[in-house]
Amino acid sequence: MIVIGERINGMFKAVGQAIQDRDKAVIQDLAQRQLAEGANMLDINVGTATADPAGGMRWLVESVREVTDVPLSIDNPNLPTMKAGLEACSGRKMINSTIGSDAALDTFLALAKEHNAMIVCLCIDDKGVPVDVDGRLEIAMRVLAKAMEHDVPIEDVYIDPIVLPVKADQTGPGKVLESIKQFTMLSDPAPHIVVGLSNLSQGSVDRKLINRTFLTMAIGVGLDAAILDPLDTELMDAMIAAEMLMNRTIYSDSFLRAYRQK
Amino acid sequence: MALEDPKEKWSSAVATVRIGATAAEGGTRSREVVLGGETTLPFLHFEGASPNMPVVAMEVLDCPPRDWPEALLKPFEDVIGDPAAWAAKCVKDYGAEMICLRLEGTHPDSGDKSPDEAAKAVKAVLEAVDVPLMIWGCDVDDKDNMVLPACSQAAAGEKCLLGTAKEDNYRTLTAACLADKHALIAESPLDINIAKQVNILVSEAGLPLDRVVMYPTTGGLGYGIEYAYSIQERGRLAALTGDKMMSPPVVCQVGQEAWRAKEAKATAEEAPQWGPPDQRGPAWEAMTATALLQAGADLLIMRHPSAVAWVRKVAEELSRAA
């Protein structure tokens, strides 16, 4: 399971403040704590904390790079901010994200090729999020065809079926699970499949329970990456157990501790 | 059109373990042996690196062997009962690059030698040969817990490989290895879950994984080698895909298991149709070893000089990049 730590996000109050104050220590501490809890990559999202998102993104990326060389996921919908993040990021990086329309894919896949970056492709096109599984599959197939066209390796492509708040549409999670199952059969090797987990429980109570229950169900049908909060210990424990139950890791009596010793 | 090799991409490597301290490190070995370090499955040169050849350690007992057949005793007939002379013969006459001193004589049913006597045997072997040494107890936990710390101390600073630590008996030996700067064999009973657990336990006790060699238990050819093979293979796949706790290199008890088989030890009178025992036994041992090499074994403990020579030749040929 590829864990992309979500905590460096300008939408969090403390992070937003740190971006405004250019307070590196807060950001670097968040980076190190997420890595210690098992994050494999870190998401970097400048949010709306600053009037200069490109400058804020550049500062965030450079601050985090001082303390770790794990891949950084540059999380922004706007091209100038994305480019600023990619250029500031030495080492491995991820474009997070592009929608799955032809024009957006052409732009962002070319950027992925240029920067040798991984890329998250959302199952959204010009018409929005598809209402059914077939619509998501259609976009996923377009993504893979476009990736080949742009010579971006399938191993670097992360397809996001789009998780919407369960409170808004209770049929959504089931459709996402079915989509994940079908995505695994789209190519060989299969593309990575990623979700932004926390969105599922937006506006709900018992958010953590909802998040971790869905995560284990999604792992059961083939999810292999997630943007989530690695500081949520129960969530991480559930994820580690789900991977073990799917025989993706070797059981031992100390399997939880063993995972964290990676 | 050229056909490309289908390559797997592995994310990590087998741990590298160094056995034997040279003068530069305060020991008296003429050279060290290096185990592990692979970044691919065995002998797939096109896909990744196998920087260190598999190593064969020749087995030496601290007492006359009880159940070795004539064909196996013959190459050692002039040195049996004298572990130092036996070890020297293995190195000088048979080119052993490592010795495994098996403290069979400390077993309560097989001489019950004292920790002192065992420590003396260790010292004598260290003086007689300058190759790295492996010290294996008698596999009775209580006795090993007395004998092995004494041997560890007698060999302090020589960076030997001591065994074995088990899931319910690892603290004493781990502490001895830590104190005297040795490496440790972590044993599990043909069970991959326990193999991982023992590695976790010894690493939590403070021993770094680059001083651990896994012994997942060996099955002999015809007597369960498939189980040993599939466990080793699964462990190796886990190591190469990032499971740090499965990363230590693997040791196999080849001689012990191969020579237990009736196909190896039956006399010419018992089984005339099977061919001469002095060829059949070594062939059985060598076949067992080569199968285990394919499963990813890094260190083989072997007995018959002919089998050792065959296996070394096979390993060299397979290790040669195409």
pLDDT digits (tens, 9 = 90+) for B217-275: 998 888 889 999 999 999 999 999 999 999 999 999 999 999 999 999 999 999 999 99
Q: Quote the pLDDT of residue A189.
A: 85
Q: Which CATH architecture has domain B37-319?
A: Alpha-Beta Barrel (3.20)
**Which chain A residues are Cβ-neighbours of B233 within 8 angstroms?**
none
- Whether chain A has a CB inside 8 Å of the CB on B196: the answer is yes
Domain range enclosing A126: 2-260
Q: What is the pLDDT of residue A262?
A: 62
Q: Is B233 on the interface with A (CB under 8 A)?
A: no
Between B9, B197, B245, which is nearest A261 by CB?
Answer: B245
pTM score, two decimals?
0.89
Q: State the nearest Cα–Cα gap between B216 and chain A, in angstroms.
A: 14
A189 close to B (CB below 8 A): no
Whether residue B322 has pLDDT greater than 70: no
pLDDT the model gives residue B9? 87
Quick one: which of B140, B134, B136 has its CA closest to B159?
B134
Instruction: Give me the CATH number covering residue A165.
Output: 3.20.20.20
Question: Please, which pLDDT band fits residue B321 given cuts at 50, 70 and 90?
Answer: low
**Interchain pair A261, B200: CB under 8 A:** yes
Quote the minimal CA–CA distance from B155 to chain A in Å.
31
Tokens of B282: 């070594």
| pLDDT for the residue B80 | 96
| Residue pairs spanning A and B at CB distance below 8 A | 37
Looking at residues B94-111, what average pLDDT do you find? 97
| pLDDT (tens digit per residue) in A13-39 | 999 999 999 999 999 999 999 999 999
Total number of domains in chain A: 1
Interchain contact, B246 vs A250, CB within 8 Å: yes
Tell me the pLDDT tens digit for each residue of A238-261.
999 999 999 999 999 999 988 887
**Which of B194, B200, B234 is opposite residue A258, by nearest beta carbon?**
B200
Task: List, as one string, the DSSP characters of chain A.
Answer: -EEEE---BTTSHHHHHHHHHT-HHHHHHHHHHHHHTT-SEEEEB-TTS-S-HHHHHHHHHHHHHTT--S-EEEE-SSHHHHHHHHHH--S-EEEEEEESSHHHHHHHHHHHHHHT-EEEEES-BTTBS-SSHHHHHHHHHHHHHHHHHTT--GGGEEEE-----TTT-TTHHHHHHHHHHHHTTSSSSPPEEEEEGGGGGTT-SSHHHHHHHHHHHHHHTT--EEEE-TT-HHHHHHHHHHHHHTTSS---TTHHHHHHT-
Res A124 pLDDT > 80: yes
Q: Where are the domains of chain B?
A: 37-319
Asked if B193's CB is within 8 angstroms of A250's CB, the reply is yes
Nearest CA in chain A to B234: A250
The average pLDDT across A158-166 equals 97
Q: Is the pLDDT of residue B1 over 80?
A: no
Pick the residue of A40, A243, A250, A259 with the most B CBs within 10 A to test the interface with B by mutation: A250
Provide the pLDDT for residue B184: 98
Question: Is the confidence at residue B4, as pLDDT, over 90?
Answer: no
Cβ-based contacts of B234 with chain A (< 8 Å): 250
Residue A213 scores a pLDDT above 90? yes
Task: Say if the Cβ atoms of B244 and A262 lie within 8 Å.
Answer: yes
Average pLDDT rounded to a whole number, residues B45-65 = 95
Structure confidence by residue, pLDDT tens digits, A166-184: 999 999 999 999 999 999 9
Is some CB atom of chain B closer than 8 A to the CB atom of A188? no
pLDDT band at B5 (very low <50, low <70, confident <90, very high): confident
Q: What is the mean pLDDT of residues A118-132?
A: 95
A 10 A CB-CB count for B203 gives 20
pLDDT for res A50:
87
Q: Calculate how close chain B gets to A259, using CA atoms only, in Å.
A: 8
CB contact (8 A) between residue A261 and residue B246? no
For residue A3, pLDDT beyond 90: yes
Residue B320: what pLDDT? 83
Task: Please report the pLDDT score of residue B311 as a whole number.
Answer: 97
Cβ-nearest to B200 among A155, A249, A254? A254
Q: What is the pLDDT of residue A260?
A: 81
